[in-house]
Amino acid sequence: MTSEPRLSLQSLPKVDRVIEDPRVKLLLERHGRTLVVDELRRYLDRLRHTLLEQPATDCPPYDALVEDFVREAEYTLLPTLRRCVNAAGIVLHTALGRAPFAEEAQTALQEAVLGYSTLQVNLESGKRGDRHAHVEELLKYLTGAESAIVVNNNAAATLLILNTLAEGREVVISRGELVEIGGSFRIPDVLRRSGASLVEVGTTNRTHLRDYAGAITERTGVLMKVHQSNYRIIGFTSEVPIGELATLAHERNLVAVDDVGSGAIVDLSRWHLPKEPVVRESVAAGADLVCFSGDKLIGGPQCGIVVGKKDLIDRLKRNQLTRALRCDKMTYAVLAATLRLFLDEDTLLARHPVLRMLTMPEGEIEARARQLSGKLEPMLTAHGTLAVERDTSEAGSGSLAGFALRTWVVRVIIHGVTAETVGRRLRQEEVPVIARISDDAITLDCRTISDGEIPCIVKAVASILRTM
């Protein structure tokens, strides 16, 4: 080791000295001694390694070193799961937790976790109750079904249905409905995991009732329809409505299952959005079981919901898989509060965050974009450019596939810094800002930004500019 690196290494402060610094003591109060000391040792080790590998590098002055450590530790020690700003314009963003909860659902969640809860107790008898009861009556009322069950997501719902009703038997599905959703979840794969055998009928673009009828054998257990949530087949196409499929199933003493995907409780076309399968309509058409997601168009927590005939739902409840797939008190609390919003359609749009964002008027989005631009413009005068422009958003999570929602965005360019770098810095804020990048500019979509989140974006951009 040469004398220069040795002198630099000698300038590194001891752990004990840094820990006693008032600035670091604030970290200790927030995160505890063990985490902070471990993080400090890692920080000093990295700096020591740099000084050894790069002899010409000087050890930073003590104050600068502490400030740098505190800034880095504040970010590193933050919880990895925390609130963020969705400026990407995808309303149901899977990576960002999909549906933001309504205020009523947030209140119900807080109530459920304050202490013990009445998750599975019958308050009348004092004996063990049924956790499904917290949402079953609501689901029956909203869908017209005889009974309901909730599991931890729609993939689990599909697995439970097929394992219960078709293990060792055949399930007939159209080739045009063998969907794959995010995370490489594929209908054929989950079907095999259930213990059932897949029978494909029809072609990718056209399937007829006679195709299903011709595939039925003594081993057939279920005729299944799956909504093409995240893609569309257009042109020369044909598919069998669930009503016709259910009639055929009942004629042959089989079960008709309809996986409607995003789970529309109300008809979205009333707000000039594309029509998604409405659960009540599927039940009325004769489907024995209908399954769908709770965290998409319903706007609730991650869960899979199955509604339908009581005798079949009772069989699902008795399946041993149900315990492995069941939901906790937080899911039931949020789902019940969210479902109650649909009981009053006059106030639904105002109280339901997902439907509110999907139906938000362009003028309201433009006004928010200009408000955000007005806050950012003085800061960027000498450091970058911005523009308020029309663009498009999307529903996300396989909902309203291929439908573009007209929106307004604020496009930001900071001179001398790539959009990728700015995007990364925005994500590294205490309240991360998730934006999209297009044409080397940060694009902030104001459809999914609330007025209350504008200060978070302004603070994040100001932080980036201070360190340029």
Residue 170: CA count within 13 A, CB half-sphere:
12
Residue whose structure tokens are 């009639």: 247
Identify which of 70-74, 101-105, 121-125 has the greatest average pLDDT: 101-105
User: What's the distance, Cα to Cα, between the start and end of the chain in Å?
Assistant: 35
Maximum Cα–Cα distance across the chain: 91
* CATH number assigned to the domain comprising residue 380: 3.90.1150.180
pLDDT at 10 > cutoff 80: no
Asked whether residue 353 is assigned to any structural domain, the reply reads no
pLDDT digits (tens, 9 = 90+) for 232-288: 666 677 889 999 999 999 999 999 999 998 889 999 999 999 999 999 999 999 999
pLDDT of residue 189: 84
Asked whether residue 309 is assigned to any structural domain, the reply reads yes
- Which of 411, 409, 415 is closest to 384 using CA atoms? 415
Asked whether residue 118 is assigned to any structural domain, the reply reads yes
pLDDT of residue 56: 66
Asked whether residue 19 is assigned to any structural domain, the reply reads yes
Report CA Rg, the chain.
28
3-state secondary structure at position 382: coil
pLDDT of residue 1: 44
The last residue of a domain, from among 321, 348, 375: 348
pLDDT at 63 > cutoff 80: yes
Asked if 90 and 128 sit in the same domain, the reply is no
Asked whether residue 134 is assigned to any structural domain, the reply reads yes
Following DSSP, what letter does each residue of 125-170 receive, concatenated?
Answer: T-SB--TTHHHHHHHHHHH--SEEEEESSHHHHHHHHHHHHHTTSE
Encode 320-355: b = buried (16+ Cβ within 10 Å), e = exposed.
Answer: eebeebbbebbbbbbbbbbbbbbeeeeebeebbbbb
Pick 186 or 140 by higher pLDDT: 140
Asked if 269 and 176 sit in the same domain, the reply is yes
SS3 sequence of 233-267? CCCCCECCCHHHHHHHHHHCCCEEEEEEECCECCC
pLDDT of residue 451: 94
pLDDT of residue 19: 92
pLDDT at 169 > cutoff 90: yes
Asked if 256 and 155 sit in the same domain, the reply is yes
Asked if 364 and 313 sit in the same domain, the reply is no
**Residue 331: both structure tokens together:** 């899911």
**Residue 55: both structure tokens together:** 């002899």
Structural domain count, the chain: 3
Asked if 89 and 135 sit in the same domain, the reply is no
**Residue 88: both structure tokens together:** 């990407």
pLDDT at 454 > cutoff 60: yes
**Average confidence score pLDDT of the chain:** 92
The last residue of a domain, from among 348, 383, 401: 348
pLDDT of residue 182: 60
Asked whether residue 362 is assigned to any structural domain, the reply reads yes
* CATH number assigned to the domain comprising residue 201: 3.40.640.10
Asked if 138 and 70 sit in the same domain, the reply is no
- Identify the DSSP state of 90: B
- Which of 290, 295, 343 is closest to 149 using CA atoms? 290
Burial class (CB in 10 A: 0-12, 13-18, 19+), 107: middle
Following DSSP, what letter does each residue of 418-450 receive, concatenated?
Answer: -HHHHHHHHHTSSS-EEEEEETTEEEEETTS--
How crowded is residue 163: how many other Cβ atoms within 10 Å of its Cβ? Answer: 20
The CA distances from residue 85 to 96, 107, 196, 298, in Å, are 9, 20, 43, 21
Residue whose structure tokens are 């498009």: 392
CB distance 465 to 421 below 8 Å:
no
Asked if 160 and 276 sit in the same domain, the reply is yes
Dist CA 297 CA 308 (whole Å)? 19
Query: CA dihedral in degrees (31, 36, 39, 43; nearest 10)?
Result: 130
pLDDT at 125 > cutoff 60: yes
The last residue of a domain, from among 322, 348, 374: 348
**Angle at the Cα of 161 from the Cα atoms of 231 and 269, rounded to 5 degrees:** 40
The CA distances from residue 433 to 83, 437, 449, 461, in Å, are 10, 12, 10, 10
Asked if 127 and 70 sit in the same domain, the reply is no
Query: What pairs with residue 95 in β-bridges?
Result: none
Following DSSP, what letter does each residue of 166-207 receive, concatenated?
Answer: HTTSEEEEEGGG--EEGGGEEHHHHHHHTT-EEEEES-SSB-
| Sign (positive or negative) of CA dihedral 154, 160, 162, 163 | positive
Pick 54 or 38 by higher pLDDT: 38
Asked if 335 and 368 sit in the same domain, the reply is no
pLDDT of residue 234: 67
pLDDT of residue 177: 79
pLDDT digits (tens, 9 = 90+) for 390-432: 999 999 888 888 889 999 999 999 999 999 999 999 999 989 9
pLDDT of residue 409: 98
Asked if 187 and 228 sit in the same domain, the reply is yes
CB distance 413 to 441 below 8 Å:
yes
Pick 191 or 34 by higher pLDDT: 34
Asked whether residue 337 is assigned to any structural domain, the reply reads yes
Task: Note down the domain range covering 428.
Answer: 85-95+358-466
Choice among 46-55, 200-209, 279-288, 389-398 with the minimum mean pLDDT = 46-55
pLDDT digits (tens, 9 = 90+) for 332-369: 999 999 999 999 999 999 999 999 999 999 999 999 99
pLDDT of residue 188: 82
| Sign (positive or negative) of CA dihedral 153, 157, 160, 163 | negative
Asked if 421 and 279 sit in the same domain, the reply is no
3-state secondary structure at position 3: helix
pLDDT at 376 > cutoff 80: yes
Asked if 174 and 145 sit in the same domain, the reply is yes
Asked whether residue 271 is assigned to any structural domain, the reply reads yes
